[in-house]
Amino acid sequence: MSDFSTVDEILDYAIGMEQAAVDLYTQIAEKAGTEVATKVFLSFAAEERGHKSKLEAVKAGKKFAGSAKAVQDLKIADYVNDVELSETPTYEEILIFAMKQEKQAFRMYTDLAARCERDDLRELFLVLAQEEAKHKLRFEVEYDEHCLTEN
């Protein structure tokens, strides 16, 4: 993440990252292979679109009010190897990739919040960080239920 000199640069960066997440989840939905998985990833794309809308509203001058509540972290993403998605990824690969993406998004928003001097923007970034943490948790739970096996 580069240094930003204005609030608009910070917001533009975050908006761009959310659009990239929308595009990514839409592409994953197309590769998912099952109707259920397709719906799941399209719903994630919609949630990321909602994050983008919040950021755009703040950029347009609206004030943000919300509260960030900590989300449980199973830390599964910390212990699985990175994957790149092929044209026909397995469900496990998709889940790992998605967990890692959400972990990066969480870190991005946490970093942006730490750099922000405006209280309303800091709160927005902390809320968005926790929303990304929720996404990661959902992928970790799905991975735990469908990919991890007992020894």
Mean pLDDT computed over 2-10:
82
**What count of other Cβ atoms lies within 10 Å of the Cβ of residue 105?**
24
Which residue from 137, 68, 78, 66 is spatially nearest to 109, judged by alpha carbons?
Answer: 68
Predicted confidence band of residue 150 (pLDDT cuts 50, 70, 90): low
Does the structure show a pLDDT above 70 at 38? yes
The amino acid at 110: T
Give the model confidence (pLDDT) of 76-108 as tens digits.
999 999 998 888 888 899 999 999 999 999 999
Give the model confidence (pLDDT) of 106-120 as tens digits.
999 999 999 888 888
| Average pLDDT for the chain | 89
How many Cα atoms are found within 13 Å in the side-chain-facing hemisphere of 127?
A: 15
CATH topology of domain 7-146: Ferritin (1.20.1260)
How far is the C-alpha of 14 from the C-alpha of 146, rounded, in Å? 32
Domain ranges of the chain: 7-146
For residue 151, the model assigns a pLDDT of 38
